């Protein structure tokens, strides 16, 4: 189980424990792919030291959450007396934080981890912000609060991280290191073009764009970090006059800024470039960087191919059908197949045939007409003694080439097929 949890959480037990050491607040990274596995690791490491509370729909305010939590936990711990008294006195958020810290200090345990699950139910307003800033500085040495949420804003957590009062687990493989830990004041823009097209600004999802044009121009800017106005106009408004296109462009660009709460670009030396006030976490950009680096640095290629494959969760912006997106989608798909082939041939060179076969067959699902990959698969089947599978692979290639191009397999492939059939 331990090895499985390390694999799913993409972290190790020693690193996990190191991150939790001596930090009052611990955040489970909101974009981690398996929150349940990280929670399971927490219980596995700290077992009887965890005090668990899952927020519900009626825990939307700070006072409601504290009142319900202390009432629910009163039956299993002595937690809550001072907190409930502070609530009855309508205490300020800072005093509520001190009361909860005192209740945690009074628990008869050498170490206490209060795990707040489904934290998204809390409406994180100014009172909640003040509460957690105060709580981080008042918790006793033996007590920690662990927060598990699908959405977390950048603040107050980034300030607390810089102050040494918080830590993040599950961000080891986060895109560009994740949204926490950057210098204060920088906006954190996350764009998941290879994972459904989701966009987050400072940890919060952008859901409405006020039309398709602002959304499409936004993605174009993110995908083209150095672009001229003429290039933009040729893609979006090729039939408009420069004056008309300029008017539409500036209106659309302003809508993007309004949705983000930040300027996305700066204009410099004739180019629109990313704003220096934003940190852009862009999965497709990192994907292409990994592919290019794998081609350039052969010794590091397997790790880079693997990184690229991990980043490619879905086709590029799958719900958008405009020409420039469709072209980029095809480019990304080819590069993804290239990464799979690279890993397949790497494992084949290590005589790890099952792993090699898995990657190569995945590549053929993306690019069924790549004949050299069919030959690789046929050779592995032949080496494994799976003659019927090798023959079936050849027939599949034959059918694909006929259907797509009305051609037969090459002489090299036919010769390999005849050799396999001859035993």
Q: What CATH number is given to the structural domain containing 75?
A: 3.40.50.300
Q: Establish if 226 belongs to a structural domain.
A: no
Q: Establish if 252 belongs to a structural domain.
A: no
Read off the pLDDT band of 78 (50, 70, 90): low
Q: How many domains does the chain have?
A: 2
> What is the predicted pLDDT for the residue at 408?
95
> What is the predicted pLDDT for the residue at 76?
62
Domain boundary among 140, 175, 210: 175
pLDDT digit string, tens, across residues 335-366: 999 999 999 999 999 999 999 999 999 999 99
Domain boundary among 151, 175, 199: 175
Q: 145 and 139 in contact (C-beta within 8 Å)?
A: yes
Q: 211 and 252 in contact (C-beta within 8 Å)?
A: no
**Is 41's pLDDT higher than 70?**
yes
Read off the pLDDT band of 1 (50, 70, 90): low
Lowest mean pLDDT among 42-56, 188-202, 290-304: 42-56
Q: Note the Cα 360 to chain centre separation in Å.
A: 25
Q: Establish if 278 belongs to a structural domain.
A: no
Domain of 80 in residue numbering reads as: 2-175
**Is 35's pLDDT higher than 90?**
no
CA distance linking residue 23 with residue 195, whole number of Å: 32
Enter the pTM of the model.
0.89
Q: Cis omega before residue 156 (within 30°)?
A: yes
Q: Which residue has 């009172």 as its token pair?
A: 127
> What is the predicted pLDDT for the residue at 77?
65
Domain boundary among 175, 204, 239: 175
Q: Establish if 29 belongs to a structural domain.
A: yes
Lowest mean pLDDT among 103-112, 236-245, 272-281: 103-112
């Amino acid at each position: 189980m331990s090895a499985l949890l390390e694999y799913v959480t993409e972290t190790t037990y020693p690193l996990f424990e190191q991150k939790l050491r001596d930090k009052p607040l611990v955040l489970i990274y909101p974009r981690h792919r398996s929150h349940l596995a990280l929670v399971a690791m927490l219980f596995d490491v700290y077992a009887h030291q965890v005090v668990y509370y899952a927020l519900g729909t009626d825990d939307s305010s700070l006072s409601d959450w504290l009142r319900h939590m202390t009432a629910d936990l009163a039956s299993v711990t002595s937690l809550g007396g001072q907190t409930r008294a502070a609530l009855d006195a309508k205490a300020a958020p800072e005093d509520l934080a001190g009361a909860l810290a005192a209740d945690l200090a009074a628990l008869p345990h050498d170490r206490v981890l209060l795990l707040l699950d489904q934290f998204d139910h809390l409406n994180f307003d100014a009172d909640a912000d003040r509460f957690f800033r105060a709580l981080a500085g008042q918790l006793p040495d033996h007590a920690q609060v662990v927060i598990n949420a699908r959405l977390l804003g950048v603040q107050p957590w980034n300030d607390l991280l810089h102050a040494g009062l918080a830590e993040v687990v599950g961000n080891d493989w986060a895109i560009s290191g994740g949204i926490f830990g950057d210098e204060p004041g920088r906006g954190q823009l996350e764009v998941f073009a290879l994972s459904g097209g989701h966009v987050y600004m400072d940890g919060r999802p952008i859901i409405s764009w006020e039309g398709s044009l602002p959304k499409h121009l936004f993605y174009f800017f993110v995908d083209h970090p150095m672009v001229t106005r003429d290039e933009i106009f040729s893609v979006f408004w090729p039939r408009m006059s420069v004056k008309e296109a300029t008017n539409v462009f500036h209106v659309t660009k302003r809508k993007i800024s309004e949705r983000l709460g930040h300027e996305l670009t700066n204009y410099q030396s004739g180019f629109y470039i990313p704003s220096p006030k934003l940190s852009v976490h862009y999965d497709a950009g990192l994907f292409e960087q990994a592919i290019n680096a794998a081609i350039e640095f052969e010794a590091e290629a397997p790790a880079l191919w693997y990184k690229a494959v991990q980043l490619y969760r879905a086709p590029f912006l799958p719900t958008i059908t405009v020409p420039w997106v469709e072209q980029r989608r095809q480019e990304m798909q080819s590069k993804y197949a290239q990464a799979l082939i690279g890993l397949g041939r790497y494992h084949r060179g290590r005589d790890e045939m099952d792993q090699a076969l898995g990657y190569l067959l995945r590549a053929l699902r993306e690019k069924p007409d790549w004949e050299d990959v069919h030959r690789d698969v046929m050779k592995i089947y032949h080496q494994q003694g799976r003659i019927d599978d090798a023959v079936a692979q050849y027939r599949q290639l034959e059918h694909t080439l006929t259907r797509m191009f009305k051609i037969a397999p090459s002489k090299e492939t036919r010769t390999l097929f005849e050799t396999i059939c001859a035993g």
